Amino acid sequence: MVSSPTASAHDAGLAALAELLAGPVVPAARGLLGCRLSADGVTVRITEVEAYAGTAGDPASHAHRGRTPRNAVMFGPAGHAYVYFTYGMHWCVNVVTGPDGEASAVLLRAGEVVDGLDVARARRAAARRDVDLARGPARLCAALGIDRATYGADLLGDGPVRLRPVDVPVPDCAVAAGPRVGVTGAHDMPWRFWIAADPTVSAYRRHVPRRRS
14 in any annotated domain: no
* Per-residue pLDDT tens over the stretch 36-76: 999 999 999 999 999 999 876 898 888 988 889 889 999 99
Q: 152 pLDDT band (50/70/90 cuts)?
A: very high
Task: Tell me the DSSP string of 135-154.
Answer: BSHHHHHHHHT--GGGTT-B
CB 71 within 8 A of CB 103: yes
205 in any annotated domain: no
| pLDDT value, residue 56 | 67
184 in any annotated domain: yes
172 in any annotated domain: yes
Q: How many domains does the chain have?
A: 1
CATH number for 48: 3.10.300.10
**pTM for the structure as a whole:** 0.92
125 in any annotated domain: yes
Structural domain range at position 72: 20-195
On the question of pLDDT at 163 being above 50, the answer is yes
2 in any annotated domain: no
143 in any annotated domain: yes
On the question of pLDDT at 109 being above 90, the answer is yes
**Residues 28, 41: Cα–Cα separation, whole Å:** 26
56 in any annotated domain: yes
**Residues 145, 42: Cα–Cα separation, whole Å:** 8
